[in-house]
Amino acid sequence: MKQYWNELSEIKKDLAAKDWFPATSGNISIKVSDEPLQFLITASGKDKTKITPEDFLLVDKTGRAIEETHLRPSAETLLHVHIYNQTKAGCVLHVHTIENNVISSLYEHEVTIGNQEIIKALDIWEEGAKITIPIIENYADIPLLGETFLPHITGDTGAVLIRNHGITVWGKNGFDAKRRLEAYEFLFRFHLKLCSLQGGAYHGTNSHS
């Protein structure tokens, strides 16, 4: 358990240093066991720029705390539950950044970005490759949000943008998930910078009005 706790703590520290957890937002988790499914997830309402013994709690396949505790799992634990129950993913990261929020405001159902070397970090090696990230609505009703999220869980790695909310990325393990998250955020910054240099000409037919 300590190994997973320390790994998740290091990831949290690295992402906090990038200012990707503003105002206690975001949630991250790491799988501890498959049978039974158990994973550590950030406790709700905690300042993620701090390191404390109450940063995470252990939950089961339904997202409920395994041991009696005053801590509450993140409000969006259900999304992590869906990912771990549907895939072999080992880590899930959800962060709020200005870039991923702007991207989700500009496009309706998905955004496609391509021809960038960093796409290789997503295990896509074709020359001139493109990546498409789905965008779903930010429902306050968490079960409804989960239902909308579920169809986009199509493999052991992936990412979904939630409109004006943030991005959820999952990977095979902590290193893989963090690498993928950093790649997506780089692609969002690149895309917005390129569009601004081109006079705001957002490419594609999926712009959100």
Residue 25, pLDDT above cutoff 90: yes
Question: What pLDDT, on the 0 to 100 scale, is given for residue 4?
Answer: 96
pLDDT in tens, 102-155: 999 999 999 999 889 999 999 998 888 999 999 999 999 999 999 999 999 999
Chain-centroid distance of CA 109 in Å reads: 17
pLDDT in tens, 42-80: 999 999 999 999 999 999 999 999 999 999 998 899 999
Helix, strand, or coil (residue 60): coil
Helix, strand, or coil (residue 80): helix
Question: What pLDDT, on the 0 to 100 scale, is given for residue 163?
Answer: 97
Question: What pLDDT, on the 0 to 100 scale, is given for residue 200?
Answer: 59
Work out the average pLDDT over 72-94. Answer: 96
Sign of CA dihedral 171, 174, 176, 181: positive
46, two tokens:
């905690």
Work out the average pLDDT over 184-188. Answer: 97
DSSP codes, 122-163:
GT--STT-EEEEEEE---SSHHHHHHHHGGG--SSSEEEEET
Question: What pLDDT, on the 0 to 100 scale, is given for residue 201?
Answer: 46
User: What's the count of helices (H) and strands (E) in the chain, helices before strands?
Assistant: 5, 8
The confidence band for 205, taking pLDDT boundaries of 50, 70 and 90, is: very low
The upper half-sphere exposure of residue 156, i.e. CA atoms within 13 Å in the direction of its Cβ, equals 9
Work out the average pLDDT over 80-109. Answer: 97
Question: What pLDDT, on the 0 to 100 scale, is given for residue 207?
Answer: 46
Q: Domains (ranges, CATH) in the chain? A: 2-197 (3.40.225.10)
Interhelix angle 142-149/77-86, rounded to 10 degrees, is 30
* DSSP-based helix, strand, coil % in the chain, nearest 5: 40, 25, 40
Residue 92, pLDDT above cutoff 50: yes
For residue 33, the one-letter residue type is S
Residue 29, pLDDT above cutoff 90: yes
165 is in an annotated binding site: no
Question: What pLDDT, on the 0 to 100 scale, is given for residue 115?
Answer: 85
For residue 57, the one-letter residue type is L
CA distances from 188 to 25, 98, 101, 104, 159 (A): 19, 10, 10, 10, 13
Work out the average pLDDT over 174-190. Answer: 97
Does residue 179 contact residue 187 with C-beta atoms inside 8 Å?
Answer: no
> What mean pLDDT, rounded, does the chain reach?
92
109 is in an annotated binding site: no
Does residue 202 contact residue 195 with C-beta atoms inside 8 Å?
Answer: yes
